[in-house]
Amino acid sequence: MQYTSQRDRSATHLTHWGAAEITSDGHRLTSVRPSPDDPEPTPVLENLADAQHHPTRIDRPHIRRGWLENGPGPGPRGDDPFVPVSWETALEALSGELARVYGEYGAGAVYGGSYGWGSAGRFHHAQSQVHRFLNALGGYVQSVHSYSYGASSAILPYVLGTSAEWTMRGSTAWEVIAEHTGLLLAFGGISGKNSQAGPGGVTRHTLRGTLRRTHERGCRTVSVSPLRDDTPEEAGAEWLAPAPGTDTALMLALAHVLDAEDLADRAFLSRCTTGYQRFAHYLRGSADGVAKSPEWAAQLTGLDAVRIRELAREMARTRTMITVSWSLQRTHHGEQPVWLGVVLAAMLGQIGLPGGGFGHGYGSAADIGRPRRVASAPSLPQHFGAQARGTSAYIPVARIADMLLNPGAAYEFDGRHLRYPEVRLVYWCGGNPFHHHQDLARLRRAFRRPETVVVHDPFWTATARHADIVLPSTMSVERDDFGSGSNDPTMLAMPALTKPHAEARDDYDVFADLSRLLGRGEEFTRGRTSREWLRSLYDDWRARLTADGHPLPDFDAFWAEGQLTIPVPEPGQILLADFRADPERHPLPTPSGRIEIHSETVEGFGYHDCPGHPVWREPAEWLGSPTAVRHPLHLVANQPRTRLHSQLDVGAHSQASKIHGREPARMHPEDAAARGIEDGALVLLRNGRGRCLAGVRLSEDVRRGVVQLATGAWYDPDPDDPSFCRHGNPNVLTTDRPASTLSQATTGAHALVEAEPWRGPVPELSVLGPPETV
């Protein structure tokens, strides 16, 4: 199975953004074409070929000079040059350091949260690999929840009883929406750009075709968003653009109309929910003297009160699906719009009916709205069952900088009183915190604190540049694997297409060597090569499915065929249909067994920033806040159209979008004119936390007062000022303020900024090549 000859070869390969037919000459990829089975393939595939041997690939292990010379300890990470070393030297140094830290301080001193997407392919999934490895050594400090929907992960279990993942995997199928929905009310839109990607991969993109059919059948779509193109044209959507961060006010006003005009489904509310009366008091203003009327919301959102009132009436007349994109909760008080989405759907009484109810993340990723399979794809076990030792310490994932800056400090999270662990060693494999975290200048200070930072990555990412020990990983095209995205019925064999770049190695092989050096080889490897793991994971999985009545081919037949289909039991899946049909027999796992419009549990935590029912709380940074005088533009730092996060930013498709080599930012022509900014020019975006350059595109598809700059441009700090990114990474501007005490989730989607024309010389970028070595 391992690639051995130099013959040309080709195979279908899976990425998080689609399946591709790839041909190689054994060393480089000679062609990458979308899979013919994909009706709406994505140009993001074009990033792959020229990135594979780009100068930013890490060619061999490197150690930061200061760490090599002075040993472990806090240090000027990000400024020091690197020393290239042999694998032997690197693994010896790293195993010695792991032995020291585990020996002297235990597992609670090792942070292995290692958040990030890595690559598609289930066995070589980098996070599973590093978690299994650190568990073999005795455990590690974990991270919980995600940057994707951390606020939802905290709040939804109190509202619906199930985890956010479970709720979303159970979303009403797109096919049901296409057939039954009369009004698709999409907060945050139904993003075509985001539907390009799904965790683990997507074999068939179908959003545009589905929206076209839905529209042609007569469904109306209302896209509530600061950007007109957040919903594809095929939906024929009406565009409503409230001020970013004010959706909660709009939703409360819609609820107010349903309540005031007696349009709420009282029977459903009493049969399937609890707490409506408490919430209705708040809506009517009985508690605080402020009725959450359309007139009230009009002032906050900038929308017309008449239009809000009409929309509420239409919702009550029609089979309405309310969907809230994940972006709405990646904000201060991001729990509220998600909770309110459920509450509005409950007031309409359509939860559990075909094409009605609530959805979370339609358009946010390709898998949402795809019905569940009988089983997810096989994967590498991360835990050792009864053998597991070590630590149960964890942090909410977005509190990484807080943890490193404030070891031992107390904080609150989800009803618990916790303390930050005293972390000495940080181990990252498959993620890029200098892409994903907020307030990067602060993160950089935090990354200087621990004694050792280890990073595995194929590329010289900003995180690798801020590490002590840097190990080059293979890319997915350089190793055998199998892959299948979340809720995707197709599982692909992914044979290696080329030799590894330079001295890059599979994460698995590196962890196997390290665990042997540390006397834990047997635990980590079970004596298997990666090829043997593929076969055994597959065989165990196949045996389980076969026993459940789903026969599958044996491993060799699967590998020869190149793909198989995982059965989907209920193609017409409807969220909460059972519960709606019989809430007594199918209660929700909430304390009341029903949908909690008011939660005693959440109220009991006593958090002012997340009380017992949904409320409007002013975000710290929005167009109506006092600081908007100095920074009057609302930055929407959304996901990039041209790549996945920071991955392959050096690739052809991502590079083609750059303006003077900088990430494109979009703004409204009137906002630009008021500042003397011209289309295609360089701008400086700035606020009290940082500054970045971007290339500007003027567009009337952007709401006035908004600047949109996607994430993912590789962080290129000015040597004299790390809060200035010369390339256009918006995370030098975003804030590390959590969504709420309940969730401690990221608020990276929003920040206030000011923009001005850049009149200085155009600085050179340093991230298009490797860092300085000695």
Residues that bind ligand MGD (CB under 6 A): 116-119, 124, 126, 147-148, 187-189, 191, 193-194, 196-197, 224-227, 230, 244-245, 247, 325-328, 330-331, 364-365, 429-432, 435-436, 456-459, 461, 473, 507, 636-641, 644-647, 711, 730-731, 734, 748-749
Q: Output the CA–CA distances (angstroms, integers) from residue 113 to 21, 30, 230, 396, 569, in the order listed.
A: 34, 36, 32, 10, 34
Residue 183 sits at the vertex; the CA angle it makes with 182 and 187, to the nearest 5 degrees, is 155
Strand pairing partners for 82?
64, 773
Q: How far is the CB of 227 from Mo ion (least distance, A)?
A: 18
Out of ligand MGD, Mo ion, none, what residue 230 binds, judged by CB under 5 to 8 A for its kind, is ligand MGD
Residue of minimal Cβ distance to Mo ion? 148
Our CB check for Mo ion shows the closer of 259 and 367 to be 367
Q: How far is the CB of 92 from Mo ion (least distance, A)?
A: 36
In three state form, how does the secondary structure of 661-709 look? CECEEEECHHHHHCCCCCCCCEEEEECCCCEEEEEEEECCCECCCEEEE
Cβ-contact 71, 45 below 8 angstroms: no
Out of ligand MGD, Mo ion, none, what residue 329 binds, judged by CB under 5 to 8 A for its kind, is none
Interatomic CA distance for residues 233 and 239, integer angstroms: 11
Out of ligand MGD, Mo ion, none, what residue 41 binds, judged by CB under 5 to 8 A for its kind, is none
Considering only residues 125 to 184 of the shown chain, the ones binding Mo ion according to CB under 5 A are 148
Interatomic CA distance for residues 325 and 315, integer angstroms: 18
Name the token pair of 251: 């939703």
Out of ligand MGD, Mo ion, none, what residue 687 binds, judged by CB under 5 to 8 A for its kind, is none
Strand pairing partners for 321?
184, 357
Interatomic CA distance for residues 638 and 734, integer angstroms: 11
Q: How far is the CB of 653 from ligand MGD (least distance, A)?
A: 10
Interatomic CA distance for residues 344 and 224, integer angstroms: 15
Q: How far is the CB of 147 from Mo ion (least distance, A)?
A: 5
Out of Mo ion, ligand MGD, none, what residue 196 binds, judged by CB under 5 to 8 A for its kind, is ligand MGD
Q: Which residues contact 23 (CB under 8 A, 6 or more apart)?
A: 8, 9, 10, 29, 30, 31
Q: How far is the CB of 625 from ligand MGD (least distance, A)?
A: 14
Our CB check for Mo ion shows the closer of 29 and 644 to be 644
Interatomic CA distance for residues 623 and 244, integer angstroms: 8
Out of ligand MGD, Mo ion, none, what residue 91 binds, judged by CB under 5 to 8 A for its kind, is none
Q: How far is the CB of 128 from ligand MGD (least distance, A)?
A: 11
Q: How far is the CB of 137 from ligand MGD (least distance, A)?
A: 17
Q: Output the CA–CA distances (angstroms, integers) from residue 619 to 299, 414, 698, in the order listed.
A: 15, 20, 27
Out of Mo ion, ligand MGD, none, what residue 641 binds, judged by CB under 5 to 8 A for its kind, is ligand MGD
User: Among candidates 115, 88, 131, 63, which has minimal Cα distance to 464?
Assistant: 63
Interatomic CA distance for residues 456 and 454, integer angstroms: 7
Our CB check for Mo ion shows the closer of 452 and 743 to be 743
Cβ-contact 673, 201 below 8 angstroms: no
Strand pairing partners for 702?
227
**Site of tokens 């972390």:** 423
Q: Any catalytic annotation for residue 115?
A: yes
Our CB check for ligand MGD shows the closer of 430 and 695 to be 430
Out of Mo ion, ligand MGD, none, what residue 767 binds, judged by CB under 5 to 8 A for its kind, is none
Out of Mo ion, ligand MGD, none, what residue 15 binds, judged by CB under 5 to 8 A for its kind, is none
Our CB check for Mo ion shows the closer of 230 and 480 to be 230
Our CB check for Mo ion shows the closer of 148 and 327 to be 148
Out of Mo ion, ligand MGD, none, what residue 451 binds, judged by CB under 5 to 8 A for its kind, is none
Q: Any catalytic annotation for residue 428?
A: no
Task: From the candidates 17, 115, 276, 758, give the one annotated as an active-site residue.
Answer: 115
Phi, psi of 414 (to 5 degrees): 50, 45
Q: How far is the CB of 146 from Mo ion (least distance, A)?
A: 6
Q: How far is the CB of 360 from ligand MGD (least distance, A)?
A: 10
User: Among candidates 13, 31, 8, 117, which has minimal Cα distance to 652?
Assistant: 31
User: Among candidates 501, 468, 653, 644, which has minimal Cα distance to 57?
Assistant: 501
Task: From the candidates 3, 17, 102, 117, give the one annotated as an active-site residue.
Answer: 117
Interatomic CA distance for residues 294 and 737, integer angstroms: 30
Cβ-contact 27, 55 below 8 angstroms: no
Q: How far is the CB of 665 from ligand MGD (least distance, A)?
A: 13
Q: How far is the CB of 452 from ligand MGD (least distance, A)?
A: 17
**Site of tokens 């990425």:** 15
**Count of residues interacting with Mo ion (CB under 5 A):** 1
289-318 footprint of Mo ion as x/- string (CB under 5 A): ------------------------------
Q: Which residues contact 341 (CB under 8 A, 6 or more apart)?
A: 187, 251, 322, 323, 324, 358, 360
Our CB check for ligand MGD shows the closer of 197 and 575 to be 197
Residue 498, interface with Mo ion (CB under 5 A)?
no
Our CB check for ligand MGD shows the closer of 264 and 623 to be 623
Our CB check for ligand MGD shows the closer of 45 and 178 to be 45
Our CB check for ligand MGD shows the closer of 148 and 274 to be 148
Our CB check for Mo ion shows the closer of 148 and 729 to be 148
Q: Which amino acid is at 311?
A: L
Name the token pair of 21: 């037919």
Interatomic CA distance for residues 260 and 364, integer angstroms: 33
Cβ-contact 147, 734 below 8 angstroms: no
Out of ligand MGD, Mo ion, none, what residue 353 binds, judged by CB under 5 to 8 A for its kind, is none
Strand pairing partners for 694?
683
- Chain residues in the site for Mo ion (CB under 5 A): 148
Active site residues: 115, 117
